[in-house]
Amino acid sequence: MSQNNNNINIMALISGLILGVLLMLSLAGCGVDQQGSVFSLEPCSVTQTSSGATINCIDGTYANITNGTQGPQGATGNANITTVQFCQNYTSNSSYPEYGFCINGNLYATFWDGKNAWTALITPGYYMSTATNASCNFTVGPNCLITDN
C-alpha cells in the first residue's frame, strides 16, 4: 500500500507541474478579453492619427482608436492654487528654479528622471533640491510653508 501512495503522489506532482507549465505558456503569449476574443500581449506601438491612434503589435494584430466627442463643461472648481518656489533664496533666471503647487494647503511637485515625469504629494519634512545651478536644502511645513536651511 505504501508503494501505491508514493506512485500516486509522484503522479499528482508531475500532473501539477505539467498543468502549471501549460498555464504559464498560455498566459505568456495571449489571453482572452471579457467578450471571449483572443488578444495579444506581444509588444505593441502606438501611432497618433488625425482621428485618434492606431495600436500595432508585432504579431500583426492592430486596433484603431478614435477620438470621442467633446463632453460637457464641468462645474467651476473652488480650489485655492498657488505656486511655491522651493529654493527661495535663488533668484537667477539663468536656470530652472524648482516650484511646487500648493493646492488647498497640500504641496505637490512634478519630478522628472530624464525619461518619466510624475507628480507627487510633498509631505512636511526636510528635502534637498538637485536643480542645476539652483540646489538647496529646505524644510516643508504645514500649509505649504517653505523654509530654506
Span 90-106, pLDDT tens digits: 665 545 667 899 999 99
- 55 and 92 share a domain? no
In a domain, 133, yes or no: yes
Q: With cut-offs at 50, 70 and 90, classify the pLDDT of residue 148.
A: confident
**What is the per-residue pLDDT for 44?**
85
- 52 and 85 share a domain? no
Q: With cut-offs at 50, 70 and 90, classify the pLDDT of residue 37.
A: very low
User: What domain range includes position 54?
Assistant: 36-68
In a domain, 64, yes or no: yes
- 48 and 88 share a domain? no
Asked if residue 38 has pLDDT above 70, the reply is: no
Rounded CA gap, 18 and 11, in Å?
11
- 62 and 88 share a domain? no
In a domain, 18, yes or no: no
140 burial via Cβ count (<10 Å: 0-12, 13-18, 19+): buried
- 57 and 110 share a domain? no
- Taking the chain, what is the end-to-end CA distance rounded to the nearest angstrom? 78
- 142 and 93 share a domain? yes
Rounded CA gap, 16 and 24, in Å?
12
- 87 and 129 share a domain? yes
Percentage with pLDDT > 90 across the chain: 17
CB 102 within 8 A of CB 119: no
**What is the per-residue pLDDT for 126?**
93
In a domain, 110, yes or no: yes
- Domain count along the chain: 2
- 93 and 48 share a domain? no
What would the grid cell of residue 128 be? 534637498
Q: With cut-offs at 50, 70 and 90, classify the pLDDT of residue 41.
A: low
The mean per-residue pLDDT over the stretch 67-81 comes to 88
- 94 and 47 share a domain? no
- 88 and 135 share a domain? yes
In a domain, 47, yes or no: yes
